[in-house]
Amino acid sequence: MSKQEKFYDLLDTLRTGAEAAGTLALGALGLACEGAEKAAEAVRLRCQAARVEGEVDGKLMEAGEMVYATHTGNPTESEELLEKLREIDELKARLAELNETLGRKPKDAACPGCGEPVEEGARYCPHCGEKLN
């Protein structure tokens, strides 16, 4: 099938009356919901990241107090301080992971017909008109 034929095929599909229109509308609705879910997920991750950041600050302050107490003649067991520093390391690793997830872009799908990137959920390839799943 030539590109032009595919294009007319696509137009025909779009013109196939109310039933097809209803299907297209439902498809669009599904996409909108998916978008909202992704946005909510990003908000959730951002809240989580902010909370972990707050925890790191708190632990750093506690560790700082331990170091300062040692300086003022009330030494903290070094094991206790090390444990605190380990907790900070773990929190920072978790924070880095969260930020990485937040910054990660969803992988672009490729058209099986022409190999061009297509939007997730698209019914037809915008480049060659190939019907997508």
Total Cβ atoms within 10 A of residue 129: 22
CA–CA separation, 36 vs 32, rounded Å? 6
Question: Is 123 one of the binding residues for Zn ion (CB under 5 A)?
Answer: no
Assigned token pair, 98: 């969260």
Question: Is 1 one of the binding residues for Zn ion (CB under 5 A)?
Answer: no
Question: Is 125 one of the binding residues for Zn ion (CB under 5 A)?
Answer: yes
3-state class of 117 per DSSP?
strand
CA–CA separation, 62 vs 70, rounded Å? 12
* Contacting residue, 100, 128, 132, 133, with Zn ion by CB under 5 A: 128
CA–CA separation, 52 vs 47, rounded Å? 9
Question: Is 113 one of the binding residues for Zn ion (CB under 5 A)?
Answer: yes
Question: Is 114 one of the binding residues for Zn ion (CB under 5 A)?
Answer: yes
Which region, judged by CB under 5 A, interacts with Zn ion, from 23-31, 34-42, 63-71, 112-120?
A: 112-120
**Least distance CB 127 / Zn ion (angstroms):** 4
Q: Which residues bind Zn ion (CB under 5 A)?
A: 111, 113-114, 125, 127-128, 130
